[in-house]
Amino acid sequence: MSSVSIPPPACLLRPLEVPLRHLFGPGPSNVPPRILAAGSRPIIGHLHPEMYEIMNDIKRGIQYAFQTENNTTISVSGSGHAAMECAVFNTVEPGESVLIAINGIWGERVAEIAERMGANVHRLVKAPGGYFTNKEIEQAIVKHKPVLLFLTHGESSAGLCHPVDGIGDICRKHNCLFLVDTVASLGAAPIFMDKQNIDILYTGSQKALNAPPGTAPISFNDRACHKMFNRKTKPASYFLDMTHLSNYWGCDGKPAREYHHTGPVSGFFALRESLAILAEKGLEESWKKHKEVAAYLYRGLEDLGLKLFIPERDLRLPSVTTIAIPSGYDWRELLAYILKHHHMEMTGGLGPSMGMVMRIGLMGYNCEKNNADMALHALADALKNCKRSKA
């Protein structure tokens, strides 16, 4: 008699089926064949010398993408949220004051993360699509005396690309670290970590970089490292402890890299290839392409009678465009129609922008005018065929 009482699940006795879709939402984006091929290379050991060379390549690619010479530059094994937690857990100790600029969901998330690890969190809040002046930021820093200021560069929930110039200088003036989220903006909008005096910068692999989700580049400058490596208490997370991760990535100057965790080997292959594509294309060309395609999309949306959610063109996030929900329509019905009839993902708002916007993402590999045309055609078809209330 068999000792197995739970039978094999019938679903796993069938072949894996995954639909082919145009991922024109805020991410993940479609992965180009070259990156898919890199991720399918044979596995090697995560502590093999060849793996260290690939990790070194990734580090150099991140330094280029971030425009930084920071030695402590790595990729966290996890999504952008892992890098978000890594930044906060390592540079903030329980009881310390932090200031979080919130104009969408990502500031809300960082505030919760900081509260969970015992920080004294102060919120600077605007409605989705709003932005903070440097004067407002400095006044809040003077009032709350934080050790860390968080700002989202590419607020994908609202489609805003926040100005960064001058904020790093303010933070240095008041002995405050400057942490910036570029998950939705890296590769699509200019960012200069060193020139803009950003102390900690992170992103994700699955947006304009076009790699699969699961790796999250992050960089710490000397100011951040001094705070991080002179803590009174250990970080709340062992997995995200930069004392260990900096050694794993060969950033601590020690002759040997010790085992900390098994990194996502295939994910690192894909991330390296995505950074190679960005290096070959060039940052300035990538920024230019995203801006041009976004402008093309804006014109098409306005021709359909749709209203762009961010009125100031210079504040729009090139990678994720937000439109106000058209009057009389159920946005969920519109998006469901587009997914069913055009095999295309667009999304609604997220967090505080839920029910306010619909989002179209054209990032990296997807950033082409023919894709903008496809998105516009799908929207026009949905507007024609979905019910509109008379109210």
pLDDT of 189 > 70? The answer is: yes
pLDDT of 390 > 80? The answer is: no
DSSP letter (8 states) at residue 177? E
Q: 76 with 218: CB under 8 angstroms?
A: yes
Q: For residue 51, what pLDDT is reported?
A: 96
Average pLDDT over residues 63-87: 98
Q: Known binding site: residues?
A: 359
List residues bridging with 317 in a β-sheet.
Answer: none
State the number of CA atoms in the 13 A half-sphere of 377 facing the CB.
10
Average pLDDT over residues 109-125: 97
pLDDT of 391 > 70? The answer is: no
Share of residues in the chain with pLDDT > 90 (%): 98
pLDDT of 389 > 90? The answer is: no
The band of 326, judged by pLDDT with boundaries at 50, 70 and 90, is: very high
DSSP letter (8 states) at residue 41? S
The DSSP annotation for 154-176 comes to EETTTTEE---TTHHHHHHHTT-
Average pLDDT over residues 43-50: 95
Domains along the chain? 22-28+283-385 (3.90.1150.10), 33-279 (3.40.640.10)
pLDDT digits (tens, 9 = 90+) for 246-260: 999 999 999 999 999
Average pLDDT over residues 164-176: 98
CA–CA dist 190, 262 (Å, integer)? 33
The band of 103, judged by pLDDT with boundaries at 50, 70 and 90, is: very high
pLDDT digits (tens, 9 = 90+) for 81-91: 999 999 999 99
CA–CA dist 293, 183 (Å, integer)? 19
Average pLDDT over residues 352-372: 97
Joined together, the tokens standing for residue 147 give 């050790």
Q: Mean pLDDT, the chain, as a whole number?
A: 97
Average pLDDT over residues 212-233: 97
CA–CA dist 178, 170 (Å, integer)? 9
CA–CA dist 347, 327 (Å, integer)? 17
With vertex at residue 318, the alpha carbon angle to CA 214 and CA 305, rounded to the nearest 5 degrees, is 125
Q: Pairing state of beta strands 177-181 and 200-202?
A: parallel
Where are the alpha helices (H) located in the chain, listed in sequence order?
Answer: 33-39, 49-66, 80-91, 105-116, 134-144, 167-173, 222-228, 242-248, 265-281, 283-303, 331-342, 369-385
The DSSP annotation for 80-110 comes to HHHHHHHHHHHH--TT-EEEEEESSHHHHHH
Q: Known binding site for substrate: residues?
A: 359
Average pLDDT over residues 293-307: 98
The band of 388, judged by pLDDT with boundaries at 50, 70 and 90, is: confident
Checking phi first, is residue 316 left (phi over 0); if not, alpha (psi -120 to 50) or beta?
beta
Q: For residue 100, with 0-12 CB atoms within 10 Å meaning exposed, 13-18 middle and 19 or more buried, which class applies?
A: buried
The band of 233, judged by pLDDT with boundaries at 50, 70 and 90, is: very high
